[in-house]
Amino acid sequence: MIKKTNLAVLLALLFAASILISGCASGQDAAGKDTPGEEPYKIGAVLDISGKASSLGMPERDTLLMLADQLNASGGINGHPVDLIILDNKSDETEAVLAVKTLIEKDVLAVLGCSSSGPSMAMIDTVQKEKVPMISLAAASSIVEPVKDRQWVFKTAQSDIVTVNKIIGYLKEQGITKVAFLYMNNAYGDGGKKAFAAAARENGIEVVAEEKFDASDKDMTPQLTRVKASPAQAAVVWAIPPSASILTRNFRDIGLSIPLIHSHGVGNQKFIDLAQDAADGVILPIGKLTVADQIPDSDPQKKVLEGYINDYSKKYNAPPNSFGGYAWDAFNLLVSAIEKAGPDRAAIRDQLEKTRGFIGVSGVFNMSPQDHNGLDEDSMVLVQIQDGKWKLLE
């Protein structure tokens, strides 16, 4: 008997725990349902809200919730309120596929997400087969290339190649010809590695050390030790926090003094918070949002940037970051496509592909049948971290 009661207690405990866990991981529905009048348009989003990439997914979720509220308050799309359904993929490929299938069963017009490259890649097969437009918020170029196999997929984050060209430009300017390349062992890091290797070869820059690490690694000293042993004149890193922050701390700790260049994956305050003093001196290409107050008024994006910053800061008492910006662009690109195309998946896809001169947070988008990202190098600026702040370079 005693054993039975104990088993019951244990089961109750486990049950309680599983409710707690699933309770915070389940989806959120934003607005739209009580609005009278026209039938709501359903838009789905799959984001990395928990897990490794949560520092990307959370500002994206907050941005989408804010935009959906604003849109519905001002009358929705052609009078139709928007019903935004956000699901968490827990930064996991399998969960992302399950989530996108759930959304398609709910008849969403299009899917936004995921936050990171791996889960985004995992969803492509499903949306291609089901013919549902998808706008990814992740960086890897392979999400939208080759376009002939990715006709339903678009993305708003600058492709690796845009960032790579910006970095290569800087290296050439500084006369650096030998670099070490360190990258995360996932789709984001891999995409960066391939794009960088190709561009470096074309521009006469030699990669003298190439090292990878896992997103969950706690210590990159072994990899950096090999970089230190190499003749590299600069280190280029393709990673996101927390591992990018740990690497930066290790980099300073073992006394490496060559320039440290990161990708736009570290373009959020979290990177600096975690790396602390070690972040000072890091150079990275970044969307203009982070340094919106430092870019000239003549920049076409200035007004959009300031608007987004004001709205977001007012609602969440914290400044937005580039990841939230990718979500802003994806949501508004989609809304303007639905406005013109109506509630038809194929028409929305065609309309997205025709986007020209759309001024967003991440840049000015010019999509085409060959380019489903639509951003070029002008969408980025180089910044250096000084005393924990982003400073526009030059």
Partner 1 sequence: MHIADQLLQLLFTGLTLGSIYSLIALALVTTFNITGILNLAQGEFVALGALLAVSMYAAGMPMAAAFTVSVLLVAMLGGFLERFAIHTARGASGLTLIIITIGLSISLRGLALLIWGTETYSLPAFSKGGPLFIGGAAVNPQSLWIFGLTAITLAGLYAFFELTYWGKAVKASVINRAAARLVGINPHTVSFLAFTASGALGAAAGIFIAPITMTTYDMGFMLGLKGFVAAVIGGLSNVGGAVLGGILLGILESYSAGLISSGLKDAIAIIILLAVLLIRPEGIIGAIRERKI
| Residues in touch with partner 1 (CB under 8 A) | 2-3, 6-7, 9-10, 13-14, 16-18, 20-21, 24, 49-51, 54-55, 58, 185, 211-214, 216-219, 221-223, 225-226, 228-229, 241-242, 245-246, 252-255, 270, 273-274, 276
CB of 68 to partner 1, least distance (A): 22
Candidates 188, 378, 169; CA nearest to 264 is: 188
Nearer to partner 1, 83 or 92 (CB): 92
Nearer to partner 1, 209 or 367 (CB): 209
Q: Whose Cβ is closer to partner 1: residue 5's or residue 298's?
A: 5
State how far the Cα of 139 lies from the Cα of 160, in Å rounded to an integer: 6
Strands across the sheet containing 134-136: 28-30, 82-88, 41-47, 111-113, 134-136, 153-155
Paired sense of beta strands 178-184 and 206-213, if any? parallel
In terms of CB distance, is 44 or 51 closer to partner 1? Answer: 51
Rounded to a whole number of angstroms, the minimum distance from the CB of residue 54 to partner 1 is: 4
Q: How far is the CB of 215 from partner 1 (least distance, A)?
A: 11
Look up tokens 């406005």; give the residue.
Answer: 339
Residue 84: CB minimum distance to partner 1, A: 21
Q: Which residues contact 374 (CB under 8 A, 6 or more apart)?
A: 355, 358, 365, 366, 367, 368
Shortest Å distance, C-beta 278 to partner 1: 10
Judged by beta carbon, residue 54 or residue 379, the one nearer partner 1 is 54
Give whichever of 177 and 221 is closer to partner 1, judged by the CB atom. 221
| Cβ 136 vs Cβ 143: under 8 Å | yes
Q: Identify how many contiguous H helices and E strands the chain contains and give both numbers.
A: 12, 15
CB of 260 to partner 1, least distance (A): 16
Look up residue 295 and give its DSSP letter: S
Nearer to partner 1, 210 or 377 (CB): 210
As given in the structure block, the two tokens for residue 350 are 């065609």
First to last CA, the chain: 77
- Backbone CA torsion sign across 263, 265, 268, 274: negative
Write down the least CB distance from residue 2 to partner 1, Å: 5
CB 318 within 8 A of CB 298: no
Could you tell me the smallest distance in angstroms from the CB atom of residue 23 to partner 1? 8
* Alpha helices (H) along 239-362: 243-253, 269-275, 302-316, 322-341, 345-353
Residues 6+ apart with CB under 8 A from 314: none
> How many other C-beta atoms can be found within 10 angstroms of the C-beta atom of residue 225?
13
Q: How far is the CB of 376 from partner 1 (least distance, A)?
A: 33
Q: Between 198 and 254, whose beta carbon lies closer to partner 1?
A: 254
Q: Which is nearer to partner 1, 198 or 229 (CB)?
A: 229
Residue-wise burial string across 15-27, b where 16 or more C-beta atoms lie within 10 A, e elsewhere: eeeeeeeeeeeeb
Minimum distance of partner 1 from residue 53's CB (angstroms): 9
How far, in Å, CA of 144 to CA of 131, rounded?
A: 15
Core vs surface per residue 328-346: b (16+ CB within 10 A) or e = bbbbbbbbebbeebeeebe
SS3 143: helix
Query: Nearer to partner 1 by C-beta: 178 or 226?
Result: 226
Rg, Å, the chain Cα set: 22
